[in-house]
Structure 1
Amino acid sequence: MLIDMIAGARPNFMKVAPIINAIKKRRSEGADLSFRLVHTGQHYDKKMSESFFEQLNIPSPDVNFGVGSGTQAEQTAKIMTGYEQIILEEVPDVCLVVGDVTSTMACAITAKKCGVIVVHVEGGIRSGDWRMPEEVNRVVTDSITDYFYTTSEHANNNLRKQGVPAEKVVYVGNTMIDSLLANLERLQKPAVWDKGNLRQKEFILMTLHRPSNVDDGAGLKKIIDRVCTLSGDYPVIFPVHPRTMKMLDMDEMNYPNLLAIEPMGYLEFIYLLKHALAVVTDSGGITEEATVLGIPCMTLRDSTERPETIEEGTNELLGTDPESLNDSFDKLMKGNWKKGSIPYLWDGKTSTRIVDHLMSIS
């Protein structure tokens, strides 16, 4: 059985790594199971792509399209053209796509048109916000998926409403948490720790990359101003996404507690997240990681496709108005942040359950 594993952007790498390891383990036990790792190159910055393969012990991709930057349509077309050629060279039994990036949708469409079974890891999640390209990717992918590997009961309910037969939905948990738990003993202290004289639970971590927060330079500056002001004497560590850097005039960022740094590897970033007092973010994946690590999380978005991180975890959805941070920081500094719990099946064994099901398909 040949499985094509599709990875194109940072979140994909953490999601495919444990599945690859589970496949290798099953193959070592005699299973007729192999994979072809297809890297679309959607993220082209080394710190946003290659370093994640190295740190997570993912083998070198069997192919890398090197798609790079471009409009949504340009990226989609390049990915579909590249993947079609790979399928024509050797048809896989299954195309496994993860998450909700352009690569997810483009490869799912291409595989389906070539008669290949499509399985979607993280199927069924929805934000309801059609302004997000990711929401389009999710809905299009799920409209042609054959088997859905879900992370939550919310995702299961979304698929039921869509009319997906129960036997096509497999509640497995969260592969990103598999990667998180597997690497907790391997975390690496980043250079900024000593440079900024950081101490545990005495700094704020911030990540921003979504268009609603970073495409308007004035609005982005307001967010940074609020976070730095409300953090008081605590340092604010800001790994700046390449998309965000284009909108920033660093000469205007005159905050003594702000440390803007380049994107870092997975092991370094999780080291910071684990030891932060709190994280301010617009990333869905970080809300999941913060929930499992028990870190207070403030999400600057109007919607989320991961409501379990709010209902069960440590996440709060604040919207995109920087003033919404005031009450949240007040709760944080007074020690009144809610105590979260870890969602069902986020136990580090999701990838094993996925491979079990893949074997049943064959």
Structure 2
Amino acid sequence: MSDTSVIKGRGAQHNSHNRFLELSYEMRDDFLEFCHKEGEIADKNKTQYLNVFPKTIVNKVTSPDVGMAYSMNMYQGCEHGCIYCYARNSHEFWGYSAGLDFERRISVKKDAPKLLEALLKKKSWKAQTIVMSGNTDCYQPAEKQFQLTRKCLEVFLKYKHPVGIITKNSLILRDLDLLKDLAKDNLIGVNISITSLSEDTRRILEPRTATIKKRLETVQVLSENGIPVNVMLAPIIPSINSHEILPMAKKVSELGALSIAHAIVRLNGAIGELFTDWIRKTMPDRADKVLHQIQDCHGGTLNESRYGKRMRGEGHIAKQINDTIKLARLKYFEDKSMPRLNKELHEQYKNGQLKLF
């Protein structure tokens, strides 16, 4: 039975301390008691959108085991609230907490489309696939209001430049028209994250994401429209979704996905504390088991930073997970693969239109 004090609609249950700040913030019991007596709400649990103005929008990825060369993020922080999200730690760079702040204080880069266009027009720029959502989801709830992802897709289409998308939100189907136009020239690849077939698991693990039903429908609709889809079974968390690998792989293959990818959960930085607090409140009956099995995958610790090990883990439990993924690929994806995106067209469209000579 879960703790009745759980903050509904959020993953993190508190604001962890920002390691870069000397001061810390806490909500004391005497303040909470005062609010209770006065009939006031101590924490309204509302999301704030904050405008920021970076000078660049595309980042070069130097990590050797990530699988992308360049990424861009229109939003910092993510209202989806996935408790395991590795991007939480990056919110500390901006002076916020990796906990509730990450879900409730969303930085919005309204100049993203202009910054992207300026980059793609540079004579020195050579086409490389740029992945939207290398850090935070480009189709999180903020996108409904600001539509920065759609505007950036229009830029990619105008300049015939390859783009990848990572998301767990069915809002991507709003932009089906642009995705179909990009797919005609093999300029788009979509990665849909699906971590469970259980709506109950999804609801507590990823509280403000699209439902499992909606995500499966998204895989099917994109595939039926000729848009290549890779499904990310990530992260795999022992004793939470590790038993679902084969059923998930089978289902998404039937819906048209061309491949699957996975990663074993790792809880770096503040995420270890946040995840431990969360699981003791939401799954107290199996909290110790899950935490110990995660540690077993990472040499006895929740924190794992070693390249080549951090995504796949090591030990008996990690081997079982990785072997199951291999089996899933053999059973359901043996004759399928994601296409290489087209990098040849962009040079002809540097000025936004086809060069005749």
Give the TM bin, normalised by the shorter chain: 0.3 to 0.5
Q: Which has the higher helix share?
A: 1
Q: What TM-score does the superposition give when structure 1 sets the normalisation length? A: 0.36
**Taking structure 2 as the reference length, what is the TM-score of the superposition?**
0.36
Q: Which has the higher contact order (CA 8 A, sep 6+)?
A: 2
